[in-house]
Amino acid sequence: MLKNKTIAVVVPCYNEESQIEMVIETMPDFVDRIIIINDKSTDNTENVIKRLIETDDSQTFNIENILNNIKPNTHNRANVVLQEVQKNEIRYFVDHNVFNPKNNSRIILINHVKNSGKGSGISTGYKWAKDHGIDCTATMDGDGQMDPSELKSICMPVINKDVDYVKGNRLIHRSSLLVIPKIRFLGNSILSILTKLASGYWRISDTQTGYTAIGNKALNSIRIQNIFSGYGYPNDILVKLNIAFCKISEVEIKPVYDIGEKSKMKILKVIPTVSWLLIKSFFKRLWIKYLFRDFHPLFLLYHFALSLIVVDLKYVFKVLKAIYLNTNLSFETLFAFTFLTTFAFQSLLFAMWMDIQDNERLQK
């Protein structure tokens, strides 16, 4: 525990038999539960974890499932309804089984019935933490690429109730350009720029990190069952948090590579997939947050700018063609191109400026 607050760490893993023991054994003592999500590994990962559970002699306390804690009365029907929703939402998660023979073991093994992706593993782990009322739930990868000594700095802003969600940032560490593989650094930077626009958190970077912490309130504010199942899950979570008006912060962490892990992420495949996810998430955020929940003029400005850009494409093509062929443009084409491009650019800038101003309050 930290300041009398319960701490859990969700560790998604797939074929990590060589690394998972190190991850578990180096977990700080203040962590009350280590929730390992085995995503249908084909190696010996499950047996390694079971052996660690059976030999675990750490002193801990029982953490009860809180789903039946609320008793109906005259004034709490809303809370009872939410409790029922939380109980029934399990059907939206990947089928899984829980291995916890000691009942109050510090290590919880949750086995997915089928391989479903890293994001699905995070969802399953979040569900366990949510159902057991964990105050702060962190996430660490099962490949050992996260320094456990930095976990406290990740959790403390949530524990102190300064923010709802904290994420590590490797890109601001002074060694980032020297340690992070160049293709990874480039891909991460591209996705970070797109995530700023999609999520509304304009001051974040290193959006692909899996070293995070989330508070119980935020965990109950987003639909964890709908988290993107693949490697785009950190980006999707940020969009969901912004829609729920959650405050976030970043903590500098060191990049860790070449410790025996084998990366399963194909960056050239991930970038197009996550980029498309972010495009859809951008419009989802605009419609839900700035139209249905709380109308804001930036909703109109963004759509006006994008509409002008679509109409302008025809004239952009004509201008480029004329430049290439060295031919003259008609007054109509030149006027339309100038007018549409200018107003589209201005509208987009005003929309982004409003977006930045409105979301400044959600970042520390």
pLDDT, tens digit, 9 for 90 and up, residues 39-78:
999 999 999 999 999 988 887 888 888 888 888 888 888 8
Q: Which string of DSSP letters, residue by residue, matches 43-100?
A: SSHHHHHHHHHHT-----------TT-PPP-TT-HHHHHHHHHHHHGGGGSPPEEEE-
**DSSP 8-class letter at 106:** S
User: What dihedral angle (degrees, nearest 10) is formed by the CA atoms of 286, 289, 291, 293?
Assistant: 170
What is d(CA 52, CA 44) in angstroms, rounded to the nearest whole number? 13
Can you give the pLDDT at residue 149?
95
CATH superfamily entry for domain 7-173+208-236+249-264: Spore Coat Polysaccharide Biosynthesis Protein SpsA; Chain A (3.90.550.10)
| pLDDT score recorded for residue 263 | 60
Query: What does the pLDDT look like over 224-253, one tens digit per residue?
Result: 999 999 889 999 999 999 999 999 999 999
Mean pLDDT in residue range 122-137? 96
- The structure tokens listed for 208 are 């692909």
Residues facing 11 on adjacent strands: 36
Predicted local confidence at residue 261, as pLDDT: 56
DSSP state of 328: P
- Between 67-76, 160-169, 213-222, 278-287, the lowest mean confidence (pLDDT) is in 67-76
Q: Is the pLDDT of residue 296 over 80?
A: yes
Q: What is the pLDDT of residues 186-197, one digit of tens each?
A: 888 889 999 999
* Beta-sheet pairing, 165-169 with 212-215: antiparallel
pTM for the full model? Answer: 0.92
Please give the pLDDT value at position 42: 95
The distance from CA 84 to its chain's CA centroid, rounded to whole angstroms, is: 26
> pLDDT at position 243, please?
97
Span of 52-61, 262-271, 280-289 with lowest mean pLDDT: 262-271
- Other CB atoms within 10 Å distance of the CB of residue 348: 17
Phi/psi of residue 78, nearest 5 degrees: -60, -45
Distance CA 353, CA 86 (A): 38
> In the chain, where are the structural domains located?
7-173+208-236+249-264, 296-362
Q: What is the pLDDT of residue 126?
A: 98
| pLDDT at position 112 over 60 | yes
Q: What was the pLDDT predicted at 259?
A: 67
- The average pLDDT across 267-294 equals 91
Q: Which residues contact 131 (CB under 8 A, 6 or more apart)?
A: 65, 66, 67, 86
**pLDDT for residue 269:** 75
Rg (CA), the chain: 23
- Judge whether 364 and 345 are in contact, CB under 8 Å: no
254: nearest Cα among 107, 120, 150: 150
| Residue carrying the six token digits 């203040």 | 30
Element (H, E) at 214: strand 212-215
Q: Average per-residue pLDDT in the chain?
A: 92
For residue 64, which amino acid is it? E
Give the percent of the chain with pLDDT over 70: 97
Q: What would the mean pLDDT of 9-28 be, rounded to a whole number?
A: 95
What pLDDT does residue 264 have? 60
CA 55, CA 297: separation in Å to the nearest integer? Answer: 59
CA 53 to chain centre: 28
Of 264, 118, 117, 296, whose CA–CA distance to 200 is shortest?
Answer: 296
* pLDDT value of residue 266: 66
Distances (CA, A) of 318 to 2, 331, 340: 63, 12, 14
Half-sphere exposure of 253 (CA within 13 A, CB side): 30
Over residues 322-339, the pLDDT tens digits come to 999 999 989 999 999 999
pLDDT band at residue 260 under the 50/70/90 scheme = low
